[in-house]
Structure 1
Amino acid sequence: MKNQQDIGALLLRVVLGIIFIGHGTQKFQGGIENIAGWFDSIGLPGFLAYIVASIELVGGIAIILGLATRIVGGLFVIVLLGAIVTVQLSAGFIGGYAYDLALLAISAYLLLNGSKLFSLDSYILKVRNKS
């Protein structure tokens, strides 16, 4: 039986990945140019919209697969801190940054602890150690 912490980290990793895939996909499907324009309207460079959407989509896939979990977790922390500071904080806690704060906590956990169960990172490490 796997350690309960390993199972918990796997659940956090998969759910976080699904959420970020949804957000990244929505940005691209809704017209990334519109998101870039919105970024410009709030004082952020429009090109950041492409970077954020790519981190969300590609990072979401990678974190579900357990590939570069800590790195992706760190990127999610940066994206979420940016979202909270630039947009959500002014909206208040409920209806504002509460959701992003929860995602930030999950991302920070994965940044600090990783997630080995059913991860490509663990598989790659095992293959390297056998060589």
Structure 2
Amino acid sequence: MTKMTGVSTIMRVVLGIIFLVHGVSKFQMGLGNVDAWFSSMGIPGFMAYVAAIIELVGGIMLIVGLFTRSVSALLVLIMIGAIVTVKLSAGLLGNDQSPGYELEIALMLISLHLLVAEPTALSVDHFIRNKRSAAIQK
């Protein structure tokens, strides 16, 4: 395993853990409460359910490396949505009332990296790719 592959694997797993925890947190708060919070910010309430499911399931999928590119694309969209709808007015570093969007930028950049990177050896994506390659070669 090359250094870059190792780093990509670590980035994928850690990003997966971060989003899994965020998804679990939304479920623990109660999706009705998250729906109300989203609505209070002008975001359609049903998006709370969409975000929670993508974060929870997507986090698990990233940890095991399944459909990494698709999940990463969805997470980029969620981070753009969070920045534009909630964080932008506070600025990059935030203000006295609200944190900034520096974390969302970092998470989005990791997601973008995973979106374009090749599947790493320690992923289900890599296993599926090798199975397909072997089947084609037969």
Q: Does the C-alpha gap of structure 1 residues 29 and 121 become closer, same or farther in structure 2, counting only changes over 3 Å?
A: same
CA apart distance, 1:126: 1.5
Aligned residues: 130
1:105 and 2:123 aligned? no
Give the structure with the higher percent helix: 1
Aligned to 2:119: 115
Contact persistence 1:37–1:46 (CA under 8 A): yes
1:129 and 2:133 aligned? yes
Unmatched 5+ stretches in structure 2: 94-98
Contact persistence 1:76–1:107 (CA under 8 A): yes
Which AA in structure 1 matches 2:103?
A: Y
1:126 is paired with a residue whose SS is: helix
Cα deviation per residue 1:68-112 (whole Å; 9 max; x = unaligned)? Answer: 011111000000000011111112212310111100110111111
Which AA in structure 1 matches 2:83?
A: I
Unmatched 5+ stretches in structure 1: none
Runs of 4+ with >2 A deviation: 128-131
CA apart distance, 1:113: 1.3
Aligned to 2:96: none
* TM-score normalized with structure 2 length: 0.90
1:73 and 2:77 aligned? no
Contact persistence 2:121–2:127 (CA under 8 A): no
CA apart distance, 1:117: 2.4
Cα deviation per residue 1:54-75 (whole Å; 9 max; x = unaligned)? Answer: 0000000001111001111100
CA apart distance, 1:115: 3.4
Which AA in structure 1 matches 2:123?
A: S
2:101 is paired with a residue whose SS is: helix
Separation of aligned partners in 2, 1:72 and 1:47:
19
Instruction: Report which structure shows greater RCO (CA 8 Å, sep ≥6).
Output: 1
Larger radius of gyration: 2
Q: RMSD between aligned alpha carbons?
A: 1.0
* TM-score normalized with structure 1 length: 0.95
CA apart distance, 1:42: 1.2
The aligned runs of 1:33-72 (5 Å cut-off) are 33-72=32-71
